[in-house]
Every structure is written in C-alpha cells, then in structure tokens.
Amino acid sequence: MTIKGKAYIVGAYEHPTRKAVDKSLAQLHAEVAKGALEDAGLTKDDVDGYFCAGDAPGLGGLSMIDYMGLKLRHIDTTETGGSSYVIHVAHAAQAISEGKCKVALITLAGKPRSSGEATGTKPRNYGTDSPDVAFELPFAPTIVNNYAMCARRHMHEFGTTSEQLAWIKVAASHHAQHNPNAMLQKVVTVDDVVNSPLIADPLHRLDCCVISDGGGALVVVAPEVAAELNRPKVRIIGAGEAPKHQMGGRVDLTYSAGAFSGPAAFAEAGVKPSDIKYASIYDSFTITVLIQLEDLGFCAKGDGGKFVADGNLISGVGKLPFNTDGGGLCNNHPGNRGGMTKVIEAVRQLRGEAHPAVQVANCDLAVAHGTGGSLGTRHAAGTLILERV
Amino acid sequence: MTENRTIPAPHIEEETRPFWDGIRDGKLLVKYCRTCEAPHYYPRSLCPHCGSEDTYFKESDGRAHIYSFSVFHAAPIPYAIAYVTLAGTDISMMTNIVNCDFDSLEIGQEVKVCFVETEGEGPPVPMFEPA
C-alpha cells in the first residue's frame, strides 16, 4: 500500500495578516479555508473531508465545521503541534486513496501575537494530568531553552558553531526581503545574528522565529478532481511521520524524529535527498533546521554546520534553496505552528509561483518537513515529498 | 549564588508519591524495573522500556554529569536548565544547575544533587550543583 500518486495539492493559501487583533480565531480558519478553495477553483460545497489540529477553537474540528457549514464524510483532528498540517496532507492522501473523501480541506490559524503570548520564553504548563509536568515545570523549561540544549549538545559533539547556525537566518533573510508580507524583511549578516542578544545560551534573538498571527490552508484532492481543475498539479509521492521522546530517560538531543520520517518519505517516493530542488524545513530556531537537514539525509550527521554555511541555503546561490518565503525565522509562524507554511511555500515553488527573485528554476521535486512539540522533550516529525506533474 | 526564582510545587500522584517522599527525606529515588533491570526517568508504574508493572524505587547517590544545559539570559532572574545523566546509568533527567557560576558550566561537568524548596507546602525538587 502506498499513497504515491494517489492525491494532489490543488489549493494553497497563506493569510496575509501577521497581526489580527480584530479577527476571531474561527474567522481566521474560515478565511484561509476560503482562500485555499478559491485558489483551487473549488467551493466549500465540494469539501467532503476536513483536517485541523489543536489550534482550532472550541471542540476543534466540530466547532469549525459548524462555523463553516461543511458537510463531510471524513474528519481527522490529528494533533502533533506544528507538524500537524504536514501530517494532515499525508492523512488526506490516505483517506482519498481509500475512498473516504475526495476533497480534503486542511486549516491552521492562531493569534499568539495579538494576545501577547510569550511563545518561547514562558514555561508552558500542560496541566497536572500530563505525566511529565511535575518533573519538568519546576525547572522552567521554555521552548527556547529546550532547543538551546539541543544546540549546545550538537556543538559539543560535532563542533557546530554559532556562526554556522547564523547562516540559516542569513539565508532566510535573503529570501524574506522579497516577501512584502514578511515580518522581518531586512537582510541580516552572520555578525548581526551572533551579536544579537543571547536569549537562552547559545541561541540569540535572531536564531529564533517570529511570533505572528494568521494562518493557512491547503486543499488535497483525488486525481480525478485534480484533472478537472485549471491549476498546476502538485502530486504527493511520499510521506513519513514519526514521534520521538525522552525514551524513559535515554535522552539524545542530537537527532530528531525526522531521522525516521525522512527516510520513510524518500523510500515511498523513490527519490534521494540529492534529487530535491527545493526544501521547506521547519525553522522554529536555526538549530531546528540544521538538525532536520542532517536527519533527512541532506548531509551526514554532524556535518550540518558546514552544509548550511556560506549561503548554501540561499536560492540562486547555494545547492539547497530553503524556505524561500523567509520561513518562520523572517516571514510568518502563524499560531506558533510552522508546518502549514512549509507546505504552502513548497507548493508555490512547484507551481512556479514563488517570488521571481527566489523561484528555483525547473523546480519539479520538493520536500516539506515539519516538527511539532519540542525537539528537547517530545515531538513528532512529518515529511512530504511533492512533485510537479 | 542564591536561587531566587519561585519554583512551582510539583503535582503529586500516588504513583509518584514515593519519589517526592524520598526527596523530603533528602534522597533521590530512581525507578528500576525488575523484569528488564533498566532504570527509567521520570518514575512510572509501568516500565517505559519493557512495559512491566514490576518496578521499584532505588536510592541514587545523587552524582551525575551535565549532558547539556542552557542559561536563560532573557529571564528576569537568569537560570540554567540542564539534562544531567545519573552516574552509573544511561538515564538523564531535566533539572536546574544552581549554586554555580553560569559562565563556568560545561558539558560533562560532575554535579551532585541538592534539594530546593518550592512554593507553599510542596516538596523540594531535585536540582544539581557542581560536585
């Protein structure tokens, strides 16, 4: 059984807002849904499958289908944090391949910026029923210091440097200068990054992604539906998903669940990392990208620092153009969940609809990869291999 | 250096009560499995390695080394979070490194457990300081 070639992404929409004080969360979900359906040339009445995650308000999927007035045959509310939407694309392809739906809608929205949420710097309390909380919350784990411990260990084992990590931000900023919706459009240098204030050592302010309101949506359809639409065809040819955690205390911060989801996706697609023309890689922090690139097989474990240095991720300059919208580091990180925008920019690249300054020539094969949760404790990775037909 | 940060009291379940009772007695108890003989952390009734329900607490000598750490400079009161690997085991626990010069911390550094008071009537929590 495989999902290879069983479904197509025909609609993709990123909300232009980065601060949505006057919009309700449900409204944002509905606006991105409408945007993606219009992009595909479909209407809400065509939708028979809906996918959303923990960012949906109220009773999640049920509240949103009520708000939007959807009539469905299939619903899936898989929650793996920021990677949820990457995994939803794979689940939509599975559902379509089994005849459970033909037109799947996936939405994400969030308002951490307008609500003043200290996304990365305030310890998150997941509630007393969460079995880990008593053994972690007293020590004030935050998103930033969690990823910082991964960076520190990577530096220790492999000699990775802050300057190498900075190149990831530099590449993202080179792309963001061409995105009028990006929160941070100024091109930065390695010195700018390493001289920005230390947040959680060794991560600096510019190693961290933006906090933004907004959202995005995708429409995944069966081949016979895609054939009738007047849009470039982006076919799903491989997918992998995997969790990783503390393994009962056998903690290893040097790799992520991408070490499992990546090879599974490449195997299903029958392609190699070296075949990939464009990569969307979740960039909650610079270290997130570096570890994912290694785990996906773009370079050997430990060689990520050398791989990302000297502009290798800059479109038109390096060998692996990444996050050409500016990514979470510069453009958008709606709802603190970066998986959705990773898929959207990969679709733009495969359609040839990225900004001309960052569009990859003959971009016919791309990867979109996300991690959700926290690399330092519990997370899940999702990897998609997409091709232009 | 004094730890001035307010430490939230841990929530105690029956399955973890012996751990916290141990802390109140000045002991760091680690859960082991009689079936696979492996230690694990945080303590559970069921062994996360093999699934056995035959688990028991055993006192640790409180020695460890730093697996990784990060000093949170942006916090109102900077603090060091860390994973430390308990001596003689392959398991690491999340903690804070206290009573130290943050600038001198290193991966691999030997540390020893200490117990730091939490809010209200809660038990202390296990933190580590240079050995």
Task: Indicate which CATH number applies to the domain containing A324.
Answer: 3.40.47.10
Q: Measured between beta carbons, which residues in chain A are less than 8 angstroms from residue B92? A: 246, 249-251
Q: Which residues in A lie closer than 8 A to residue B90 (C-beta atoms)? A: 249-250
| CATH number of B67's domain | 2.40.50.840
Q: Please indicate, yes or no, if residue B1 is contained in any of the structural domains.
A: no
Question: What band does B2 get if pLDDT is binned at 50, 70 and 90?
Answer: very low
Q: Which of A128, A160, A201, A374 to mutate against chain B (most B CBs within 10 Å)?
A: A201
Contact B40 A149 (CB under 8 A): no
Domain enclosing residue B81, as ranges: 14-130
**What pLDDT sits at residue B1?**
43
Q: What is the pLDDT of residues A201-252, one digit of tens each?
A: 999 999 999 999 999 999 999 999 999 999 999 999 999 999 999 999 999 9
pLDDT digits (tens, 9 = 90+) for A257-275: 999 999 999 999 999 999 9
Q: What is the CA radius of gyration of chain B?
A: 15
Residue B53 counted as domain residue: yes
Kindly state whether residue A46 falls inside one of the protein's structural domains.
yes
Q: How many CB pairs under 8 A join A and B?
A: 118
Instruction: List the one residue out of B116, B58, A135, B71 whose CA is nearest residue B128.
Output: B116
Asked if residue A125 belongs to a domain, the reply is no
Judge whether A180 lies within some domain.
Answer: no
Provide the domain limits for residue A245. Answer: 8-116+209-388
pLDDT tens digits for range A25-43: 999 999 999 999 999 999 9
Considering only CA atoms, which of A306, A334, A322, A86 is closest in space to residue A209?
A334
In a domain, B106, yes or no: yes
What pLDDT sits at residue A124? 82
What residues contact residue A67 under an 8 Å CB cut-off, 6+ apart? A26, A29, A30
Q: How many domains would you assign to chain B?
A: 1
B46 found inside a domain = yes
Predicted confidence band at A95 (pLDDT cuts at 50, 70, 90)?
very high
Instruction: Tell me if B74 and A137 make a contact (CB, 8 A cut-off).
Output: no
Classify residue A367: in a domain, yes or no: yes
In tens, the pLDDT along A325-375 reads 999 999 999 999 999 999 999 999 999 999 999 999 999 999 999 999 999
On whether residue B40 sits in a domain, the answer given is yes
Whether residue B32 lies inside any domain: the answer is yes
Nearest CA in chain A to B46: A248
Asked if residues A72 and A106 have their Cβ atoms less than 8 Å apart, the reply is no
B92 to A250: CB separation less than 8 angstroms, yes or no: yes
- Domain assignment present for residue A190? The answer is no
Contacts of B79 in chain A (CB under 8 A): 140
Chain B residues close to A152, C-beta within 8 Å: 68-70, 107
- Domain membership of residue A344 (yes or no) is yes
User: What pLDDT score was predicted for residue A55?
Assistant: 96
Number of domains in chain A: 1
Mean pLDDT of A108-126: 88
User: Are residues A199 and B73, on separate chains, in Cβ contact within 8 Å?
Assistant: yes
3-state secondary structure string across chain B:
CCCCCCCCCCCCCHHHHHHHHHHHCCCEEEEEECCCCCEECCCCCCCCCCCCCCEEEEEECCEEEEEEEEEECCCCCCEEEEEEEECCCCCEEEEEECCCCHHHCCCCCEEEEEEECCCCCCCCEEEEEEC
Q: Determine, for residues A121 and B75 on separate chains, whether the beta-carbon distance falls below 8 Å.
A: yes
pLDDT in tens, B63-95: 999 999 999 998 989 999 999 999 999 999 999
> What separation in angstroms does the CA of A235 have from each of A44, A75, A141, A193?
22, 22, 40, 37
- Residues of chain B in Cβ contact (below 8 Å) with chain A: 5, 7-13, 16, 38-42, 44, 47-49, 67-75, 79, 81-83, 89-96, 107, 118, 125, 127
In a mutagenesis test of the B interface, which of A119, A132, A211, A251 is the best target, namely the one with the most B β-carbons within 10 Å? A251
Mean pLDDT over A377-386 rounds to 98
Which pLDDT score is estimated for A1?
83
Q: Look at residue A168 and tell me if it is in a domain.
A: no
> Is residue B9 in some structural domain?
no
**Residue A30 lies inside a defined structural domain of this protein:** yes
Which residue in A156, A199, A250 has the most chain B C-beta atoms within 10 A of its own C-beta, making it the best mutation to test that interface?
Answer: A250
